Structure 1
Amino acid sequence: MATVAQWVEGARPRTLPNAIAPVVAGTGAAASGGGFHALPAVLALLVAMGMVIGVNFANDYSDGIRGTDDDRVGPMRLVGSRAASPGAVRRAAFASLGIGALAGLALLAVSGAWWLLIVGAVCLAGAWFYTGGSSPYGYRGLGEVAVFLFFGPVAVLGTEYTQSGRASGLGIGTAVGVGLLSCAVLVANNLRDVPSDTVAGKRTLAVLLGERDTRVMYAALVVVPLGMSLVLSLRAPWALLGLISLVVIAPALRRVLGGSRGPALIPVLRDTGLALLVWAIGTAVGLALAA
């Protein structure tokens, strides 16, 4: 039976910046137009955290029963390590996704944007079928596309819309930056796992591209948002605060372009997630000051 510490590790807390960053960024975009509201922001955060933890447990379950995690380099997985039964991890996934769904219903009730119920249903399906089902899209090189859409435009603009009732140009630019950095987090994870995923038949985009091109893609994903800070600064000069993230991402970029492999890439996942959070916070503060 898994310990509490193992369950916490299985929830993969290092990925929580992927949940927090879009909400922070979307809230900053809402504040730029004078539309900040605390309750929808808190509910959006609960939705995002429930979804991210839920998809982490769902991936643990689905990859575990397929044997993908039997020879793993990265953080411990509950099913793959035999620390918890597949059924227990599946229930944890459903519970987390359920909490996110309930918070989402509350958010729609507060904002009155019931049409977003369709978007929420798509998000739940995307969370489960990333590695679940008979033909998971995460095994066909489509994970980065889904991450960009769900953590970029959907999460950032959804947060902004439920607070301000609009999706602004500043919000769209911010959504692109958050989406790309969220993709970089996934690429950092998949680059590390290329050898084991290849053996297991998990055809991630990193496996399809190969290590060399994946490293180039990672560099592009972390550099373009820095350029987006410059674009956003044309309307909100303080958006340049997002460039502080360069301090955090530089060591990770050096590791990736320097050819690090296996365990040496584990810090890259941490640093990329932190850079995502720093970029989102800096940009959000800059957009709010523009108001």
Structure 2
Amino acid sequence: MQTETKTSYNPVTPNKGWKVWWKLTRPHTLTAAFVPVLLGTALAIHETKINLGLFFAMLVASLLIQAATNMFNEYYDYKRGLDNEESVGIGGTIVRDGVKPKTIMQIALGLYGVSILIGVYICMNTSWWLAAIGLFCMIIGYLYTGGPLPIAYTPFGEIFAGFFMGMGIILISFYIQAGTITVTSILVSVPIFILVGAILLSNNIRDLDGDKEFGRKTLAILLGRKKAIYLLASMFTVSYIWVFVLMMMSYSSAWMAIVVLSAPKAIQATKGFIGKTIPIQMMPAMKATAQTNTIFGFLLSIGLFLDYFI
């Protein structure tokens, strides 16, 4: 296993310094935090007048927590020896750019600190019950790759990621605007629950061989690559069917059908994994999975806005 003492650190040069720190946040994952906030707010516009201050506060806090979670991931995967200079899909600030692990942890905790301050503002304008919920979500974000038994190393990673970074953020974003949780808000959040979980599943399909070598017990490992790809395709399918079922049950309007425009990305993601075993070959499929969640969520939000304004 790698340790800090065995690594020679290269100082981050000024001309690429900001790029290193930006890459550390894993920006391609940040839409997973942005989309639920937007969708929760789009749902709330049907119930009340939107408070833009609370919207932006929730958005910033969610982005900071997502970035911090990515940094915890970077730190603990390095400490456990999973990351090296050849690792695919990581920020690489430790193993490639020479940033000290201690610095990564300090930045992550600092982002958590700023998120707490923003959370205080949100609670002052809504309910202090959110403080307990927010702190619990932050603990889960840390335990995702930290602690003695990281959630990401178990078969339950997809469920935790989907619930807390998908449905949880949607419902909190809805609550801080509307002051309540409705059946519709819960039902509409389900596809994002599934698609955020799909992002993690795609990551685990890509890393299946390496994760197995290091003793992880992810869902992809337990199912095997072929069945995991079938599950991914099923998650995409259920997400689209769910929206049309909501339309038929009058929980949403026909405008929601606009989500079908994101279907080509879901198909691209599924096909991109078939027959692939080398991580770098699966990167486009993993990217397409994340893009499916982003485009699907945006389109769902647009459908809600169109239903309200038209």
Task: State the TM-score, normalizing by the size of structure 1.
Answer: 0.93
Aligned to 1:90: 105
| Larger CA deviation: 40-49 vs 51-60 | 40-49
| Sequence identity percentage | 26
Instruction: Quote the RMSD (CA, aligned, Å).
Output: 1.8
- Partner of residue 15, structure 1: 29
Instruction: Give distance in 2, aligned partners of 1:167 and 1:211.
Output: 38
Of 298, 302, 305 in structure 2, the residue corresponding to residue 281 of structure 1 is 298
Give, in whole Å, the separation in 2 of the partners of 1:152 and 1:62. Answer: 23
Deviation at 1:189, TM superposition (A): 1.1
Q: Does the residue aligned with 1:159 lie in a helix, a strand or coil?
A: helix
Deviation, structure 1 residue 260: 5.7
Amino acid at match of 2:281: A
Is 2:93 aligned against 1:78? yes
The number of aligned residues is 290
Is it true that 1:25 corresponds to 2:39 in the alignment? yes
Residue 226 of structure 1 deviates from its aligned partner by 0.9
Q: CA deviation at 1:268?
A: 2.0
Matches within 5 A, 1:90-109: 90-109=105-124
Q: Residue by residue, what CA displacement relative to the aligned partner does 1:221-276 show, whole Å, maximum 9, x if unpaired?
A: 22211112212323321111122211322211211245464112112222222221
Query: In the alignment, residue 176 of structure 1 is paired with which amino acid?
Result: V
Whole-Å Cα distance in 1 between the matches of residues 47 and 127 of structure 2? 18
Cα separation, 1, equivalents of 2:29 and 2:263: 19
Instruction: Extract unaligned runs of 5+ from structure 1.
Output: none
Residue 37 of structure 1 corresponds to 51
1:179 aligns with 2:193: yes
- Contact kept, 8 Å, 2:155 with 2:219, in 1: the verdict is yes
1:1-291 paired onto structure 2 within 5 Å: 1-2=11-12, 3-70=17-84, 72-81=87-96, 83-110=98-125, 112-234=126-248, 235=250, 236-259=253-276, 261-291=278-308
Q: Quick one: which amino acid aligns to residue 268 of structure 2?
A: P
CA drift at 1:156: 0.5
Query: What amino acid sits opposite 2:175 in the alignment?
Result: Y
Which consecutive residues of structure 2, in runs of 5 or more, have no partner in the other structure? 1-10
Residues 168-223 of structure 1 show CA distances to partners (whole Å, capped at 9, x for unaligned) of 23311221111111111111111111111111223222222221121111112222
| SS of residue matched to 1:32 | coil
How far off is 1:32 after superposition? 2.4
TM-score of the aligned structures, taking structure 2 as reference length: 0.88
* Equivalent residues of 2:48, 2:177 under 8 A apart: no
Distance in 1, matches of 2:259 and 2:114, equals 31
Larger Cα-atom Rg: 2
Which range moved further: 147-156 or 12-21?
147-156
When residues 50 and 28 of structure 1 are mapped into structure 2, their CA distance, relative to the original with a 3 A threshold, is same
